[in-house]
Structure 1
Amino acid sequence: MILSIPQGARILATGSAVPDLCINNQHLSQIVETSDDWIVNRTGIKERRILADKEKSIIDLASSASMNALQKASMKPLDIDLIILATSSPNDLFGSAGQLQASIGAHKAIAFDLTAACSGFVLAIVTATQFIQNGSYNNILVVGADVLSKWINWTDRSTCILFGDAAGAAIVQSCSQEDNGILGFQLNTDGKKAYQLSIPYEQNNYKTINNKTLKIVQGQFKHIVMNGKEVYKFAVSHVPVSILQCLNSLNILPKDIHWLLLHQANERILHAVANRLSISPNKIISNLSKYGNTSAASIPLALDEALNSQKIANNDIIVISGFGAGLTWGTVVIKWKCK
């Protein structure tokens, strides 16, 4: 979708945060039957960060990433109008964005959660852009954060090797049309395949003891379940189509983009998508080997590291695509604008 805009929007600054505890593949081989070679060959992951401190939560990671972004933008928390927290592992099932708002002191900002798993950051950037372009807000803090280590079955080799914890933040700000940096987007969902990657809710019959006439059905959420082969096929077939549709709507050719930033799920997926688009592997932004799949945090974390290393230059065109649970996938094309 091409954005027809009276008001421009751009990413002003980014920030990120990861936990201190680093678990490498050798460590995991002591927990489940696996090896460093097996994990690296199939995923590209060498280590991941885990939030193990009982005194810390996703709010601490999200706050650190947010303050990092604010500092780079030379902004104060009170300058923020809106906070969108993209997460599937909130500190509170009712939502954690309010806790983030309080933690960083952004008391003037409205705050809400957005749940779309690994596509969450892309959807949050698109949502923030809409608020800016319709004139509702000027400074929006978008945070992708997940602590999926809390929802992993650490005896399940098919999932425990994949995920890590992290947070990434971006400040989206209004600007002139000439400085617009959010060029367009394309989004999709196929709910019929939601079961391929989920944290399912399991009911069990429970009857209250004190009131025999009241029957209450309760239950609990289980661990992450994933059909790895199907998710792989979904990603390599649908993500390139999404990217091409978005690029075509903008009259941009794949060869003209500078960077391809995909959700950091699996190294094979990253290269398969690039190959289908005839994009050089040298244009892939990836930090998967260090952090694993950090869900909604993976894209902003990788973007922040690429910016910190000065890999991305002014006016570089970056194709960003997220995909995962839902099943939901989407692309946003940005032109990086230096301050």
Structure 2
Amino acid sequence: MSVTRSAVTGIGSYLPEQIVTNADLAKFVDTSDEWIQERTGIKQRHKARDDQPTSDLAVEAAKKALADAGKTVTDVDLIIVATTTPDMTFPAVASIVQAKLGAGVGIAFDVQAVCSGFVYALSVADGFVARGLSKCALVIGAEEMTKLMDWTDRTTCVLFGDGAGAVVLEPREGQGTSDDQGMLGFALRADGSKTDLLYVDGGPSTTGTVGHLRMAGNQVFRHAVVNIAEGITAACAAANIEIADVDWFVPHQANQRIIKGVGDRLGLDENKVISTVATHANTSAASIPLALDAAIQDGRIKKGDMILLEAMGGGLTWGACALRL
């Protein structure tokens, strides 16, 4: 049976020039390189300039993804940006990206599922592309998490960084099997009763301020390992594959201990796990495409590989996606 799937045909990423090391943080907050690395695996993170909004990061990643796909802005008919740090309350970052790229009139909107945003956005774009409503979609994860930090809180400010990653999705015909190129299965979840575990203490309709990120780290860790493992199992079932069929596991880069915990729980070969958290830190919705692009660029991930994506973020939201590149 012939089916239309949405497939990744191009990828790109962008990191701001400024690098902030653990030693840099130790100059103004009670922490150390050893303390941070031992608990998180993070060595450094990138930080956007004050005059460099999230849309700028998204545009740079989008340009690289389009070039990789052999497409131009005139081909783009759908832009979805996953972000929790928009330039403004409105319009959507996607609309600003559309204008900055010089793309024509099309569909443009943001998805807000915090760290799970890129997986959520992929599922939304898949609905457009696989059903013939888009021929060339840009899905972007872009974040400036450093703008949400309380720099006196060593339990959160050491964890996050800025960056953007983007993919181009185009329709591809398949036979309805797991051998097809493209998106094969999703599992998306949310549990609003856990909002107090990871949130920002501000907003337009409450405080009228941006606010700072707050997190109950130990509880988030516990939920992350259990929830992510369940989501991965469900996504594999939706794709009609087994964990053993996966060539590469590209997780949300939140914390090396979480990445290892999920891998151990599922029996994943650690040599198949892509980790960039040491150099990127947690870039929320940008972390999956950043890690995916890094592994494609260094030759580990190749066309035809079976890839498993996963993330968990504030909400609590979590999700997973199985795809063949």
With the shorter chain as reference, the TM-score category is over 0.9
The C-alpha deviation readout for 1:44-98, integer Å capped at 9, x for no partner, is 000000012x332111111100001111111110100100011000001112211
Equivalent residue number for residue 134 of structure 2 = 137
The C-alpha deviation readout for 1:137-167, integer Å capped at 9, x for no partner, is 1110000000011110011101110000000
Pick one of 192, 213, 216 that aligns with 1:224. Answer: 213
Shift in Å at residue 7 of structure 1?
1.6
Instruction: Trace 1:144-183 onto structure 2 (pairs within 5 A).
Output: 144-178=141-175, 179-183=180-184
Confirm or deny that 1:122 pairs with 2:119. Answer: yes
Shift in Å at residue 10 of structure 1?
0.3
Instruction: Trace 1:22-41 onto structure 2 (pairs within 5 A).
Output: 22-41=19-38
Equivalent residue number for residue 185 of structure 1 = 186
The C-alpha deviation readout for 1:8-29, integer Å capped at 9, x for no partner, is 2100111000101001001111
Equivalent residue number for residue 212 of structure 1 = none
Equivalent residue number for residue 277 of structure 1 = 266
Q: Distance in 2 between matches of 1:329 and 1:293?
A: 15
Pick one of 248, 257, 263 that aligns with 1:259. Answer: 248
Q: Distance in 1 between matches of 2:147 and 2:128?
A: 32
| Alignment gaps of 5+ in structure 2 | none
Equivalent residue number for residue 306 of structure 1 = 295
The verdict on how the C-alpha distance between 1:110 and 1:202 changes in structure 2, with shifts beyond 3 A counting, is: closer
Confirm or deny that 1:249 pairs with 2:246. Answer: no
Q: After TM superposition, what 4+ stretches of structure 1 lie above 2 angstroms from structure 2?
A: 200-204, 217-221, 248-251
Q: Which amino acid aligns with 2:150?
A: N
Structure number with greater Rg is 1
TM-score (norm 1): 0.91
Confirm or deny that 1:287 pairs with 2:287. Answer: no
Q: Is the 8 A contact 2:4 2:173 kept in 1?
A: yes
Q: Distance in 2 between matches of 1:138 and 1:275?
A: 39
TM-score (norm 2): 0.95
Equivalent residue number for residue 308 of structure 2 = 319
Shift in Å at residue 202 of structure 1?
6.6
Shift in Å at residue 260 of structure 1?
0.8
Q: Is the 8 A contact 2:202 2:212 kept in 1?
A: no
Equivalent residue number for residue 63 of structure 1 = 59
Q: Is the 8 A contact 2:252 2:288 kept in 1?
A: yes
**Aligned residue pairs, count:** 320
CA RMSD across the alignment: 1.6
Shift in Å at residue 195 of structure 1?
1.4
What SS does structure 1 have at the residue aligned with 2:79? strand
Q: Is the 8 A contact 2:146 2:161 kept in 1?
A: yes
Q: Distance in 2 between matches of 1:335 and 1:328?
A: 24
The verdict on how the C-alpha distance between 1:35 and 1:182 changes in structure 2, with shifts beyond 3 A counting, is: same
Shift in Å at residue 314 of structure 1?
2.4
Q: Which amino acid aligns with 1:253?
A: E
Indicate the percent of aligned positions where both proteins have the same amino acid.
40
Q: Is the 8 A contact 1:22 1:49 kept in 2?
A: yes
Q: Is the 8 A contact 1:78 1:108 kept in 2?
A: no
Q: Is the 8 A contact 1:274 1:281 kept in 2?
A: yes
Q: Distance in 1 between matches of 2:240 and 2:293?
A: 27
Q: Which amino acid aligns with 2:276?
A: N
Equivalent residue number for residue 210 of structure 1 = none
Equivalent residue number for residue 10 of structure 1 = 7
Q: Distance in 2 between matches of 1:332 and 1:219?
A: 36
Q: Distance in 2 between matches of 1:139 and 1:66?
A: 12
Q: Distance in 2 between matches of 1:271 and 1:241?
A: 15
Shift in Å at residue 313 of structure 1?
2.0
What SS does structure 1 have at the residue aligned with 2:156? helix
Q: Which amino acid aligns with 2:99?
A: A
Q: Which amino acid aligns with 1:228?
A: G
Q: Distance in 1 between matches of 2:183 and 2:89?
A: 31
Q: Which amino acid aligns with 2:86?
A: P
